[in-house]
Structure 1
């Protein structure tokens, strides 16, 4: 017999974490409700997925490694929550160099780099504490932290300095409740690559205030000619660093969901609790994709350097194409990237008085020219838009041409003075 119910009606509520979790990009983009121009095919410069248009694909060595993993029948079951030992050894070998030696015990495999960031934020910060994130910066940092009741504070990047960190602003944001600093290098959305000296300055600040770093380095090694990628861990023996990366971008396989955390802790600052905490948190996801784990040693060891070089050359060529086209458009100022897959473009809204914000500019660009870029507000940065440069070159060229035509139609051009019937009139053309 059923006992009398202590509830009189259905009352199913979302948890605090669910209610606090939101994605700034989704909330902004979903409010852009205009229809594209039906007479022009949509060109999406908004999607940070290098595989979208089929012009960038992984090499045969990577595909064959996965085929071998499946055929072996060895990776159909569960793995240890932190990953198979041979897969972690492969990541450790891949991530080691003359400046830093990684051991497999320092590696935790995750379901993509976003999962790695989630685990790092969760293990380092508690409700009521704060983390520092870049502005402009990838919105998922805020999404992951605020859902847990962690306050997000931003430090500024300087566009006039190639998006280097405003170090004075970074120092000002640190307080007694700061649990971690997130450093994204190379950067999404800026495409910046930090100089070695600049990274050393960042590390000095972290060491002075005893604040650990979460290094989002998913675009590691994706740098253009003339620039060099320096991992944060390769330049510090003092600051504890949780480095997050994965296959996603460099190997052109975001859907395979293979990321990792590397614990860099030469002074054993994190030894007591953080390692154990990460292992416990990894048990919540019950490990990452085992088929890809089985393929990791071959992927990381056998992918030819020519593949990486070809991808970089393509992205560099595309970035120059976009920059050289947009720099000629009055009212827009592109900032040439040094790596990754993105370009930020400043919109001088005074030149376009019809639009009150970058969101309105991007909305009308989509409506009139069927070119979709993400407004800077998605990354906490007003009066900018982000272009993805992975689209085929002919599409990118067409998109830039459409952007130029759009700007020419809406630009507030130099006022001419004419005298008519004794009056002075400003003619806007």
Structure 2
């Protein structure tokens, strides 16, 4: 059968606009690093945001038991509703509720990991030609998801001199009539920062004055160090609608299980007409999340003992202090002590390392000479920094810090003449 109007005479298969516009800065930078590690030294990757990589951090026995019971029951081998099983959504609703906020199961959408939750939220709120605001430094997935859809990204600054709090004036200056949403990441990747209650209220005040909803990336919720408190944005918001994204990935140490969720917080029913319906429609594109894990969710979220959470935090806090105490002594480096999550940002005073024009060159040479790999700040739109992951075993972290010190001792300019000369080209800490 032929068509009168069919004029194609050769193969001409092209990628879609979404495929062509989708770009992951981290993958692009890392995959283009062709430097070989030092073959005489074991590789220590301080670059991977996966707490399970080295086997020293394992999920709780109760979590494993819950999944084994889910599998054995044979009740969760089929398709689930696109938003998730009712009992699983009830478990997430209870887990996400506290004295300040009550979550209804109908406000929960289960997703294939937190990245899927973010994808649905950005897609539901923003249209091509609009913009969303994202943190700088910040996780690159926000840009990847938005720009693939033809949505413009505007970055607002975090301030390293104030524990990576948001520069509120800068945030406010980026908002205009086409701003569809503000992405707030707390606790932060890559900074390890944790916002206090007053700062979050200031953020909400700006969002309320300009009538802009918030996408809250809270995948590191509750992963905060002693002396700090995690406040969810939804627990503080009386007016601003919040789409909160979280999941099992980090706190429960099971990133490969791909279980995330969206909780819709909308006390003024601002999202009810279109956005809520849009989220439900978009959930049908993924046909639900992992059903085996859904079946285990009620037990995972209710039976995981507090001691498990406490032990993980103790390990992360101890290793953060260890890394900070080591790196603060290294010439030319300035670490910023995190308050939570799994990362530490380190400023590289490039004026002290004249042979390196960028932090990417610094990181590449560190990999080549010492077999230690940190992510360059370019991955997070923040030059002159590198990100260290602090989930590696303690002995490996100590060894990595010693190698970083040795590397900097070799490459750091030694004379006052060199220091004066290179201070003229020094890159100041960006705000």
TM bucket by the smaller chain? over 0.9
Task: Please state how far the C-alpha of 1:29 moved relative to its aligned partner.
Answer: 1.1
Task: Please state how far the C-alpha of 1:416 moved relative to its aligned partner.
Answer: 6.1
Q: What is the aligned partner in structure 1 of residue 145 from structure 2?
A: 144
Task: Please state how far the C-alpha of 1:56 moved relative to its aligned partner.
Answer: 0.3
Task: Please state how far the C-alpha of 1:93 moved relative to its aligned partner.
Answer: 0.2
Q: What is the aligned partner in structure 1 of residue 426 from structure 2?
A: none
1:277-292 to structure 2, matched below 5 A, reads 277-292=278-293
1:29-48 to structure 2, matched below 5 A, reads 29-48=30-49
SS of 1:126's equivalent in the other structure is: coil
- Structure 2 unaligned segments of length 5 or more: list them: 423-431
Q: What is the aligned partner in structure 2 of residue 276 from structure 1?
A: 277
Task: Please state how far the C-alpha of 1:6 moved relative to its aligned partner.
Answer: 2.7
Pair 1:335 & 2:304 matched: no
Pair 1:345 & 2:346 matched: yes
SS of 1:215's equivalent in the other structure is: strand
TM-score, normalised on structure 1?
0.96
1:181-220 to structure 2, matched below 5 A, reads 181-220=182-221
Task: Please state how far the C-alpha of 1:414 moved relative to its aligned partner.
Answer: 2.6
1:6-85 to structure 2, matched below 5 A, reads 6-85=7-86
For 1:373-393, what per-residue CA distance to the aligned partner results, in whole angstroms no more than 9, with x for missing partners?
A: 000010000100000000000
- 2 CA distance for matches of 1:204 and 1:74? 46
- 1 CA distance for matches of 2:286 and 2:32? 32
Bigger radius of gyration among the two:
1
Pair 1:126 & 2:127 matched: yes
Pair 1:373 & 2:381 matched: no
Q: What is the aligned partner in structure 1 of residue 403 from structure 2?
A: 402
Q: CA separation of 1:268/1:387 partners in 2, compared to 1, >3 Å: closer, same or farther? A: same
For 1:314-359, what per-residue CA distance to the aligned partner results, in whole angstroms no more than 9, with x for missing partners?
A: 0000000000000001100000000000000000000000000010
Q: What is the aligned partner in structure 2 of residue 100 from structure 1?
A: 101
For 1:114-157, what per-residue CA distance to the aligned partner results, in whole angstroms no more than 9, with x for missing partners?
A: 00000000000000000000000000000000000000000000
- 2 CA distance for matches of 1:263 and 1:2? 50
SS of 1:127's equivalent in the other structure is: coil
SS of 1:322's equivalent in the other structure is: helix
TM-score, normalised on structure 2?
0.96
- 1 CA distance for matches of 2:314 and 2:373? 24
SS of 2:38's equivalent in the other structure is: coil
- Structure 1 unaligned segments of length 5 or more: list them: 418-425
- 2 CA distance for matches of 1:324 and 1:64? 38
Q: What is the aligned partner in structure 2 of residue 86 from structure 1?
A: 87
1:209-248 to structure 2, matched below 5 A, reads 209-248=210-249
Q: What is the aligned partner in structure 1 of residue 171 from structure 2?
A: 170
Q: What is the aligned partner in structure 2 of residue 316 from structure 1?
A: 317
- 1 CA distance for matches of 2:394 and 2:206? 41
Q: What is the aligned partner in structure 2 of residue 420 from structure 1?
A: none
| Count of aligned pairs between the two proteins | 418
- 1 CA distance for matches of 2:86 and 2:96? 15
